[in-house]
C-alpha cells in the first residue's frame, strides 16, 4: 500500500449526546470536516482496560484523521461500575446505527463506515465489526429506523486486547513477576468488566474464529509496538493466523522499540506519525467511493 497524498481540511469539534441510560447521558465527540461531503465515517473507541478513559483519549489520532476528510465520532460508552459486558457493545452498536441514521446531518456516506479501537477499544471494535447483527449487541432500539444495521467496512486495531481470556491468563501469571503492578491492574479491570472466564472466551474475537462461528470479516489494519508488554505477541499471532485462515485480510505493522499506547502517549513522535499516516491511508483506501 502506498501512502496517499491527501488534502488537509479545517474541522469543527463538538460533543453531542447520542444515548441516555436513565439519567446518565453518553456523549460522542464529533470531528467534522468542513465542506459539503459526503465523507467516510470512522467510529473511535478508547482504551483503558474497559474501565477507564473517555472519548477525548484518542484526540491525537482523531484530529489528523478528520483533517484528511473523514468524519470521526469518538464515543463514551458504559463501563464498570455502571455496567459490565456486553453493555458497551450495545452502546457501540447503537452508536453506529445512530450515525448512519443521521447521515445527512453528519455529511457522511452511511455505506462508508469504519471502526477504530485502542487496546480494550480494539477488542470492542473487532467484536462489534464481527457481530454487527448480534441480537445482544443490537438490543437497543433505534426509533428512526429498524432497517439500519451496525455493519462496518473496515477495522483499525491499535494494540488490541484481541484475546481477553489469553490476556487474563497472561496477566495472572505475571502477578508474581516484574510486571506485578501492571498485572494486578489488568486482572482487576478484567474482573470488573467480565463476569467470569467463560464470558472472556465468549466475547473474544480470536476464540470466535477458533470456534468456527459465522461472522463478518472486514479488512483489518493491526498496529502494535515491539516493546508492548500489555498485549502478548502470541495472542496477536493466533488472531491473525485464524482471521487469515477464515478468509479475512489483515495488514500488520509493527513499530520498533515502542510499547503500548505509543500513539496515545506521544502523537508527535516519529513512530506515532508513521502509524497515523498508515491509519489515514488505510481508511481512505478501504472507504473510497
- So where are the chain's domains? 11-162+215-286
**Residue 133 to residue 135: CA distance in whole angstroms:** 6
pLDDT at 143: 79
Cα–Cα nearest to 132, from 108, 160, 117, 113: 113
Helix H or strand E segment including 210: helix 205-210
27-66 per-position pLDDT tens digit: 999 999 999 999 999 999 999 999 999 999 999 999 999 9
Average pLDDT for 172-180? 97
**Model confidence at 1: pLDDT above 60:** no
**Residue 70 to residue 92: CA distance in whole angstroms:** 19
pLDDT at 2: 42
Q: Which residues pair with 157 in a beta bridge?
A: 117, 222
Map grid coordinates 481540511 to a residue. Answer: 9
- Kindly state the cell numbers that stand for 199: 464470558
Reduced to 3 states, what is the DSSP secondary structure of residue 27? Answer: strand
Is the separation of the CB atoms in 205 and 162 below 8 Å? yes
Average pLDDT for 209-213? 97
Written out in words, the top-level CATH class of the domain with range 11-162+215-286 is: alpha beta
Is the separation of the CB atoms in 28 and 16 below 8 Å? yes
Average pLDDT for 224-248? 98
pTM: 0.96
Reduced to 3 states, what is the DSSP secondary structure of residue 90? Answer: helix
- Kindly state the cell numbers that stand for 220: 483489518
pLDDT at 8: 87
Amino acid at each position: 500500500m502506498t501512502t496517499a497524498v491527501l488534502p488537509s481540511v479545517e474541522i469543527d469539534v463538538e460533543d453531542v449526546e447520542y444515548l441516555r441510560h436513565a439519567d446518565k447521558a453518553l456523549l460522542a465527540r464529533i470531528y467534522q470536516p468542513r465542506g459539503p461531503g459526503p465523507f467516510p465515517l470512522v467510529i473511535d473507541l478508547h482504551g483503558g482496560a474497559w474501565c477507564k478513559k473517555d472519548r477525548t483519549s484518542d484526540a491525537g489520532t482523531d484530529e489528523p484523521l478528520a483533517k484528511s476528510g473523514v468524519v470521526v465520532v469518538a464515543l463514551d460508552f458504559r463501563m464498570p461500575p455502571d455496567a459490565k459486558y456486553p453493555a458497551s457493545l450495545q452502546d457501540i452498536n447503537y452508536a453506529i446505527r445512530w450515525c448512519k441514521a443521521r447521515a445527512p446531518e453528519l455529511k457522511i456516506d452511511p455505506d462508508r463506515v469504519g471502526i477504530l479501537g485502542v487496546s480494550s477499544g480494539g477488542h470492542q471494535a473487532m467484536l462489534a465489526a464481527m457481530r454487527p447483527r448480534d441480537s445482544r449487541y443490537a438490543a437497543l432500539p433505534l426509533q428512526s429506523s429498524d432497517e439500519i444495521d451496525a455493519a462496518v467496512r473496515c477495522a483499525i486495531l491499535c494494540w488490541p486486547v484481541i484475546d481477553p481470556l489469553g490476556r487474563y491468563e497472561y496477566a495472572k501469571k505475571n502477578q508474581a513477576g516484574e510486571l506485578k503492578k501492571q498485572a494486578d491492574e489488568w486482572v482487576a479491570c478484567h474482573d470488573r468488566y467480565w463476569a467470569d472466564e467463560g464470558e472472556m472466551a465468549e466475547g473474544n474475537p480470536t476464540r470466535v474464529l477458533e470456534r468456527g462461528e459465522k461472522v463478518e470479516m472486514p479488512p483489518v489494519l493491526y498496529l502494535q509496538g515491539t516493546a508492548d508488554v500489555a498485549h502478548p505477541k502470541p495472542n496477536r499471532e493466533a488472531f491473525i493466523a485464524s482471521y487469515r485462515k477464515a478468509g479475512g485480510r489483515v495488514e500488520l505493522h509493527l513499530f520498533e522499540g515502542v510499547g503500548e499506547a505509543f500513539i496515545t502517549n506521544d502523537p508527535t513522535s516519529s513512530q506515532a506519525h508513521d502509524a497515523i499516516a498508515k491509519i489515514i491511508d488505510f481508511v481512505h483506501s478501504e472507504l473510497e467511493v
